Amino acid sequence: MIEPLYFGEPQRSLFGALHRARRSQRRPMLMCTPLLQDGIRSHRVLRVIAEGLAEAGVDTLRFDWYGSGDSAGDSGELSLPGLLLDIREANALLGSVVGGARPRGFALRSSAVPLLLHAAGQTEPAELILWDPCLLGHELVADWRGQHSQQLEKAGRYPGGHAEPSPDDLLGFDVRPGLLASIDSFDGRYFPLPPGSRVLMAVWEFRPEHERFVDSLRGAGTAVEWRTLEIDDRPSFDDPNRFESQALPRRSAAQLVRWLTDGDWS
């Protein structure tokens, strides 16, 4: 059952979709949506995973960041401190509606940035599931800008010539420089988490920054497990001709649900 709801402070109202398990059997899951176009493109697959988790007894909350989707505000109000505040509000809501159990955090791609920052600022151990996480902020911002340029110049959107973008426009969003500067400086390769934390990382390709991230956390005593998804199921997130299409890696989504509901991570 999906329960749509609004939560948070009245002046900063957030929209969420709570996937309630018929019989809650496991710790709840807070699902953090990727930023900008990745968030739009991943809407369907995150819903599929949330439904699968709920069917297996995991209450799961998806939500829109303030300034995005059906939450209040506009994209020009997105900020990294605001994203961390949204996670705190969503965690509090989810914990209250499912009986106070501390939620696990789930992030796809760019949403690993605010989720890791939030977890690092807590005193209690975190349990994080990171799906193809973006760990190098400068590469993420450069990728967004490259995609933006492709849409303006090479994707066939403007057959009569190039568009003249607004200085703050990025991938169809009004994005302030402060957000990009905050993300650009993020380096998740060497990131401390509270003692007793656990991390499950699922990737299509285990890259050097992932290896450093795993080694750094293990060196600090954090339990980290990484698993590889089927590479031919990876969506073409950077294909300019599929910019607005839904990314739906069905086999990867099914694998994640199995890993999170059967075995050590259930």
CATH number at residue 8: 3.40.50.1820
> What backbone torsions phi and psi does residue 229 show, to the nearest 5 degrees?
-90, 165
User: If you write DSSP's letter for every residue of 4-31 in order, what string do you get?
Assistant: EEEES-GGG-EEEEEE--SS--S--EEE
Tens digits of pLDDT across the chain (266 residues): 899 999 999 999 999 999 999 887 788 999 999 999 899 989 999 999 999 999 999 999 999 999 999 999 999 999 999 999 999 999 999 988 887 778 999 999 999 999 999 999 999 999 999 999 999 999 999 999 988 888 777 655 555 555 566 677 888 888 988 999 999 999 999 989 999 999 999 999 999 999 999 999 999 999 999 999 999 999 887 776 776 677 889 999 999 999 999 877 87
The domain in which residue 254 lies consists of: 2-261
pLDDT for the residue numbered 263: 78
Residue 266 lies in a domain: no
Predicted local distance difference test score (pLDDT) of residue 49: 98
Number of domains, the chain: 1
Alpha helix segments (H runs only) across the chain: 36-41, 43-55, 80-97, 112-120, 137-153, 177-184, 208-219, 250-261
User: In this structure, is residue 74 part of a structural domain?
Assistant: yes
Write the CA distances from 112 to 31, 64, 87, 153, 226, integer angstroms. Answer: 11, 15, 12, 30, 15
